A = this chain, B = another copy of it.
């Protein structure tokens, strides 16, 4: 189908995003584009990883973080889950005329604090100020370079029998941003999961776990990650729905939204594939950070390229790549 205009769905991190990236970017850039299936590209003979992300989240602050924290976590996490130590970042601000200096300062302080956690530094930057109404308050792009210290992590390496783990309960970031945007008074302590993953990933590597695939489940949620893996590796991922931890607050907001928690964005939650013999060791390390981490499923070959969700009632259904508008400006 010929696309006439770009819609919000083209930025959902799911099915329509894929259509745009494959149908337009890959086709026009042709041989000028490298590395089509991972979050961060490997360059310089696999020694460095390189990744970019723009942040347009609305509102700029939310329970558990702000756009500054998010902009550092987002890019550093894309490096961390490739087995790279985040090292150098660029920061580019696109600011609406009239934006508060104090708010900008507070956002930059958040960035500073999050850089500390990654032991990364800013090496270059850019600031554009555009007339009122040309951008909504503030967008930030961060692009990062990391040094690979654990190689071979790839979406296309999954094989039958391997185990799938998740680092914590899902959907907190998506639920919190939605609630903040709609002015919902959350009577709870629910916070975005927004966090830097490098320290946790490092502890898994240091613990001697063989990592096959690893991905932070941002836009499109764990549904997007699992589908990309099933597709890239040509295998089936079978998930035991009851093993996925979802907080009551997130579940409640999902019911209001009419969304599946599996499609909600996370900003400090990752999915991990390991050989089955390493699953318990990996879980024990994940539990040191989040009690809600779990082994949620395994790899087989019943429906190649598909993700199967098994309910505790014994029924099963496909978990598809998310489609539609989801939540724009979630990150």
B124 in contact with A8 (CB, 8 Å): no
**Chain B, Cβ-Cβ closest to A6:** B99
Chain B: minimal CB distance from A76 (Å): 13
- Distance of A317 Cα from B136 Cα, bound (Å): 41
A6–B141 CB distance below 8 A: no
- Chain B residue numbers with a CB within 8 Å of A136 are 130, 133-135
Chain B nearest CB, measured from A174 CB (Å): 15
Distance in Å: Cβ of A17 to nearest Cβ of chain B: 7
A40 to B123, CA, bound (A): 8
Flag whether A183 is at the interface (Cβ < 8 A): no
Q: Is A63 an interface residue (CB 8 A)?
A: no
Interface-facing stretch out of A45-53, A154-162, A259-267? A45-53
Q: Are B28 and A124 in contact (CB under 8 A)?
A: no
Q: Is there a chain B Cβ closer than 8 Å to A95's Cβ?
A: yes
Name which of A102-110, A209-217, A270-278, A291-299 contacts chain B.
A102-110
> A32, B115: Cβ atoms under 8 Å?
yes
A124 touches B51 (CB 8 A): yes
- Cβ of A2 to closest chain B Cβ, rounded Å: 8
Interface residues on A, range: 35 or more
- Tell me the complex Cα distance, A194–B146, Å: 32
**Bound CA–CA A32/B40 (angstroms):** 23
Closest chain-B Cβ to A316's Cβ sits at a distance in Å of 33
A53 and B109 CA atoms in complex are apart in Å by: 22
The residue that A20 contacts in the complex, of B25, B28, B34, B127, with Cβ under 8 A, is: B127
| Contact status A134-B329, CB under 8 Å | yes
Q: Which of A1-52 contact B (CB under 8 A)?
A: 2-11, 17, 20-21, 24-25, 28-30, 32-35, 39-41, 43-44, 48, 50-52
Asked if B11 and A130 make an inter-chain contact with CB atoms under 8 angstroms apart, the answer reads: yes
Query: B130 touching A329 by the CB < 8 A rule?
Result: yes
Q: Are A328 and B129 in contact (CB under 8 A)?
A: yes
**Interface residue? A253 (CB, 8 A):** no
Min Cβ gap A327→B in Å is 11
Are B17 and A124 closer than 8 Å at their CB atoms?
no
B129 in contact with A43 (CB, 8 Å): no
Contact B30 A92 (CB under 8 A): no
- Interface residue A101 (Cβ < 8 Å from any Cβ of B): yes
* Among B11, B29, B95, B134, contact of A129 (Cβ-Cβ < 8 Å): B11
Task: Please encode chain A, from 202 to 220, with 1 for each CB lying within 8 Å of some chain B CB and 0 for all others.
Answer: 0000000000000000000
Residues on B with beta carbons closer than 8 Å to the beta carbon of A92: 52-54, 141, 143
The reply to whether A51 and B90 contact each other, CB–CB distance below 8 Å, is yes
Using A17-B127, A34-B123 as known contacts, say yes or no to A5 and B98 having CB atoms under 8 A apart. yes
Chain B's closest residue to A113 (CB) is B32
Choice from B24, B39, B44, B87 contacting A108 with Cβ under 8 Å: B24
> Chain A 236-261, CB within 8 Å of chain B: the 1/0 string?
00000000000000000000000000
Name 18 extra pairs, CB < 8 A, besides A10-B129, A32-B112.
Answer: A6-B97, A6-B100, A28-B105, A32-B115, A32-B116, A41-B88, A41-B124, A43-B145, A44-B48, A50-B123, A50-B124, A51-B124, A52-B126, A54-B128, A54-B141, A92-B143, A129-B328, A134-B136
